[in-house]
């Protein structure tokens, strides 16, 4: 069944100049890009997006990082998109990520891990409209 997920190429991926390589990997993995744009989150926008982590010790550094530069946000679609993207991304800690994953190849550490993907259909349902209106999404 076709499923949608949010994907973010984080500020470190953009600043490293690997956003195009990551996009190519996503397309090669069979994802259809339904929406894509470059944004620069404010600190407040990053805090709102990551509000589920507000009580976690890394919240401040996460939101500082996510508001430190531009990101590329995408809506991706394919059968089992959420699990498929998470597998392609690899473990949050690139040192523990499997060979061939995006984080193993491009991430530098747990906080600078180049990519975000929704972790559940419920998260995707909240995350996608945070960045995209229905008018901005191409449907196939």
| Active site (catalytic) residues | 116
- Closest-CA residue to 115 (of 1, 4, 41, 23): 23
Token pair 């010790």: residue: 57
Closest by Cα among 47, 43, 44, 33 to 4: 33
Task: With residue 12 as reference, give the H or E element that holds it.
Answer: helix 11-15
């Amino acid at each position: 069944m076709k499923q949608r997920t949010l994907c973010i190429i984080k500020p470190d991926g953009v600043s490293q100049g690997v956003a195009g390589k990551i996009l190519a990997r996503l397309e090669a993995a069979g994802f259809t890009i339904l929406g894509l744009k470059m944004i620069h989150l404010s600190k407040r926008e990053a805090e709102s997006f990551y509000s589920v982590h507000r009580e976690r010790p890394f919240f401040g550094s996460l939101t500082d990082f996510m508001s430190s530069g531009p990101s590329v946000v995408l809506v991706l679609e394919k059968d089992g998109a959420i699990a498929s993207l998470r597998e392609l991304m690899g473990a949050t800690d690139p040192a523990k990520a499997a060979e061939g994953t995006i984080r193993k190849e491009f991430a530098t550490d747990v906080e600078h891990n180049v990519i975000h993907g929704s972790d559940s259909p419920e998260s995707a349902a909240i995350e996608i409209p945070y960045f995209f209106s229905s008018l901005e999404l191409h449907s196939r």
